[in-house]
Structure 1
């Protein structure tokens, strides 16, 4: 079985120190050289080296040093060396160490006393600790709180040893007296923790005796109180009524850590609606007040757990959860939306959608780099809301159509899909959606969005006026037609000759063969190149006609009058002829 390790130190194996070099540095009078040598020795010991020849040197030359850093390193060295032989008996040379530790526990410097008491907390050898117990108990009444708190920890460690109760018979009673007169919060915390671990009944008695003063205790002590309450209530569920009052009083603590632990304790101990509401309110308060993203993510996880077990209570807190969207972190925003979408009901759908609309409008300022991704998440959330509650679609579809030309292609595609679904499932909105789509069609930049928009126009432009408006919009976005180049040798033909003479070649796209005036295809070498620069989204429209929508799919419903009109329009666009 491997030995336990109380601390770790990084060790660079590139240039290991030699034991003789360390020994020479320790024997010298240079304090900085001793410090470096001790660090090297500790690193070697932690990585498996034994270095038995250094012990006597350290006893002779390091033990008498008054330097604080050297003394601290000496204690670390003593912590990791083997103090027992193969039979489990303490080595005789440890007697020298005991005398040095006793002197340190009575040292006039508070730091030396404190670090020595802390060192005793990591020892398990009763033979070394037993002679030091009187000196440890004397430090319980020292004037400096740093020494008192470490002395209390040392007493707790000694009492928890296999035969510690025999070494310190009256330790719990002694610590209780210290707790009643102690003023330092850290020392009080250590004292209460000692009673909690060693004499739980005495700790409970002290807590119930001072129940009205718990809210005035320090944060560290309050955290131990909550830990004690959880332990007691798990053992005896019938006694949790005694401690609910304490937990409720600690919900008003100025410490966020205490508030969080109170909420967690309430959820673990009680399923009563009052307790769960108090916990949910506390979590929402932390979610809004904390600036640390990690804290927000942890709180959102706790709210998600409450949503699974107490959904009705969380429904009332949905708007408080939505306030977490103010965070610029995408992970927080995504978790918030996931929780909210599961809590939507007919009572709160309008408020949720209104909040999401406001957040979508905020993303238009373009100040944040990740606004496009956030907008996409919001659009998907609004889409989900519209699927669950179709009556809210009319309040959001026109707003979202402004983002059909969004620079974030994924976001624009989500909007197009949303519009396509709404226009199919809500016949009453078709006229207004078509009108809005024709007004914003010129803003579209992505070919996939354009193909979806063209499908909507071709499928749902049912009246003659809508068909004419659709064709006029497409013509306007394409620009002047037809696309042909003027011969470089001759002058530009007059208007009269344009009507009688057709161009010899027409080039619509570099990816398509040229089409001659008689409708036949010309070879690529016969077609003259054009320097025409189409409008901003004409390539997207042409790309839709060429790539995205095959000619066999232009007419989706053979009986649709709009399908026939749009089929003819797209065919003429492909031939490059004027309408």
Structure 2
């Protein structure tokens, strides 16, 4: 009454708005459920506000009435609400429609003629927001009236506002799915909305069109609309969403999409004009999925131009973008071998000095192309010979040297490779070919001086005596510097590069005659001498490098048959197996990603109801068998689901506590739902029994669980929702608070056990290339090293237990893990639902006699500290859990 007497008469708009919130939440009934007498005065105030000359007060009051649940308060206000439909201001009219809609939906008996009233209002209304609200009401209250209104205005839909067009698209979708015969009536309207002015309308119309029609023309029109949206929208999130819809259309469009979409592959490449790397990555993946052999050559040409343009760009992601383009051309060449001839030289031109990330991918493509395309091998090998002298990065140089030595299948190629290495390796005489040196005339030791003008205008003389000492033996490597290009990588680079060059020289020597082989051995010795000369206290060949070089010299000079076979044949066999393994992994990944292919047992029968038999008894028996099988399948599915739920039950209190509680933790993407069962184990009634929760970690409680009243020995279920923000272990804790009815009104508290949120619920097995794994391993700054502490004695069994416990995927091929050598090294990878990457490397060994447990360590690297620590904690907990029986083989990456 204090509020009614002193606050309700005020005319301030802010006070009136606060009053509406107050009247919404204040109890309006007595303890026995009857309406308070004071609310009659409040209802009269509502009526006056509905007739107020200010449109804001009228409209806000109408919005408030949508939240009232007492029909006794609403009934006297209906004449005033109806009168608001004729108000001059659209704000009042559209809120009046919403109020009538809500009252009709909750209390239909109060206003049974609401659909007719709103239909008449819609016929005469001009404001689009009012028409939209009225149409929404008819759509949900009486769909036939909405359909009749739309049918009478099909030709003018394109002139409606976007908010009304969105509702019309929704109506067409519902009607056509409920009654497929109506599709031909409305599909032309949906086609017209593909050209609407609003991007939201075009997006919804395209999605509706592909659900209404599977014709190639419809799929082409919807896909073209999606592409136009991606190109014109500036928001990168919108681009990614629409790209996802376009990719889903390709996968789920069936045969019609397979025929219609390849023609739009080149249009998709227009999206590459975006500057966001994620958008470009998804665009390239989608274009490769869509393109056919007819457009493959054109696709490659566009990618080559983009790579050239990205090479001259100076933004931060230019190198990564070039890497994406290289991988796209790599996949295009493997998918369409006819374009490999134009892709290979273009990629090798991009190697340059090999400093950017794309160079490693170029080498990977060159390796696969040399092995897979024998027809292109001569030209590709010659191109590789041309670019190798300019490579100065050791990692890229090692790959190039291995390829040159491995694919030197003829004596001419081996001799050409030897000449390239001779130009890069300095020899004591300045040249390794003495015959050539003797045939050349002696060069003068001095050069004629030339006059130079200094900065102050005076003359200065310069001759060969005061020039910097030139490198001997052509070690410039074509770079124009004393140690440029390949010479820099071999002599001044890391020692492992020189060791790999010794291996390449050894392999080349085995493919040449005795004289040329001797030349290769001299080059190997010269390379070792140059490294010894350049060595310092911190640089130079290590003991392992020297031992490796010595083995190469011995193998090249007088190799046994088994050594020659290992160097010339076994490496090619291993490469073939590796490429086959990668191809099978790619095929299996595509099968997993495809939603069209569904596995069906080979022996599964197909039941045709029309062919069940002539007799009624036979038909009845078949239908009984079908119903029984369906019932058993449903029961089995329900049992497995219940078993999965029961496995996640967490006991929160003890059995002797006054209130017993347990919960089921369900993780769904970014939400955690706690289904808490609360049981009153006393003979008293518990009032205001509340589960009070708090979180530790990157968790946030969405809303406080409501209080309940528990009768003696009664139980109730309470749900709580928790939001997750990142991938790390979280803890939910709290207590149960209750009041015991009686004179004393005792208050009790039961402390709950902690609920630990498992990181495995957020990470999923994923695959990545070796190059990406190495790049992420070098970039991620957080590392966690976990020592292996287990009672498992078998290496493969421990790996299986680790994969099952951490939900990671083994990237190391199964063939690389075969054998019994007493130690194992494997790479593992997983990706969280938040897009975070987790890398792990397992290095374990068995005792000498294989009688004790496995020993070693697991190194984890992640971009965030919480991810690395949480995964390490999970592995430590895994060591305490018993290992399950390992399957016979490790699934391929």
Aligned in 2, Cα 1:203/1:72: closer, same or farther, shift over 3 Å?
Answer: same
Shift of 1:94: 2.2
Alignment length (residue pairs): 474
Matched, 1:350 2:297: yes
Counterparts of 1:559 and 1:337 in 2: how far apart (Å)? 43
Shift of 1:123: 1.6
Aligned in 2, Cα 1:363/1:544: closer, same or farther, shift over 3 Å?
Answer: farther
Partner of 2:638: none
Counterparts of 2:429 and 2:20 in 1: how far apart (Å)? 91
Matched, 1:71 2:22: no
Matched, 1:437 2:384: yes
Gaps spanning 5+ residues in structure 2: where? Answer: 431-444, 446-480, 534-893
1:85·1:91 contact (CA, 8 Å) conserved in 2?
yes
Partner of 2:64: 119
Partner of 1:137: 82
Aligned in 2, Cα 1:393/1:159: closer, same or farther, shift over 3 Å?
Answer: same
Partner of 2:320: 373
**The residue matched to 2:528 in structure 1 has which SS?**
helix
Which of 239, 252, 269 matches 2:182? 239
Partner of 1:265: 208
Counterparts of 1:472 and 1:553 in 2: how far apart (Å)? 13
Shift of 1:538: 4.0
Counterparts of 2:330 and 2:497 in 1: how far apart (Å)? 30
Shift of 1:146: 0.8
1:448·1:548 contact (CA, 8 Å) conserved in 2?
no
Partner of 2:529: 575
Shift of 1:264: 0.8
Partner of 1:196: 139
Deviation digits for residues 343-396 of structure 1 (CA, Å, limit 9, x no counterpart): 232211111111111111111113221111111111111111111222312212
Matched, 1:150 2:150: no
Deviation digits for residues 506-541 of structure 1 (CA, Å, limit 9, x no counterpart): xxxxxxxxxxxxxxxxxxxxxxxxxx9954654532
Which of 91, 113, 123 matches 2:36? 91
Q: Answer with 239-248 or 452-461: which moved more.
A: 452-461
Counterparts of 1:467 and 1:387 in 2: how far apart (Å)? 27
1:14-413 correspondence runs (5 A): 56-161=1-106, 164-308=107-251, 309=253, 310-405=257-352, 409-413=356-360
Counterparts of 1:169 and 1:386 in 2: how far apart (Å)? 68
Shift of 1:87: 3.8
Q: Tell me the C-alpha RMSD between the 2 structures.
A: 2.9
Counterparts of 2:231 and 2:510 in 1: how far apart (Å)? 57
Which of 490, 493, 513 matches 1:541? 490
Counterparts of 1:237 and 1:328 in 2: how far apart (Å)? 43
Shift of 1:459: 3.6
**The residue matched to 1:368 in structure 2 has which SS?**
coil
> Normalization by structure 1: what TM-score?
0.75
Shift of 1:215: 1.7
Counterparts of 2:4 and 2:73 in 1: how far apart (Å)? 16
Aligned in 2, Cα 1:566/1:145: closer, same or farther, shift over 3 Å?
Answer: farther
Counterparts of 1:566 and 1:270 in 2: how far apart (Å)? 69
Shift of 1:95: 2.2
Deviation digits for residues 414-469 of structure 1 (CA, Å, limit 9, x no counterpart): 11121222234444544443443343334323212110111233344567776565
Aligned in 2, Cα 1:478/1:70: closer, same or farther, shift over 3 Å?
Answer: farther
Aligned in 2, Cα 1:466/1:275: closer, same or farther, shift over 3 Å?
Answer: closer
Matched, 1:555 2:506: yes
Rg bigger for which structure? 1
Deviation digits for residues 477-524 of structure 1 (CA, Å, limit 9, x no counterpart): 4568699xxxxxxxxxxx9xxxxxxxxxxxxxxxxxxxxxxxxxxxxx
Counterparts of 2:142 and 2:377 in 1: how far apart (Å)? 75
Deviation digits for residues 384-411 of structure 1 (CA, Å, limit 9, x no counterpart): 1111222312212222113324665432
**The residue matched to 1:366 in structure 2 has which SS?**
coil
Counterparts of 2:31 and 2:336 in 1: how far apart (Å)? 76
Between 1 and 2, higher relative CO (CA 8 Å, sep ≥ 6) is seen in 1
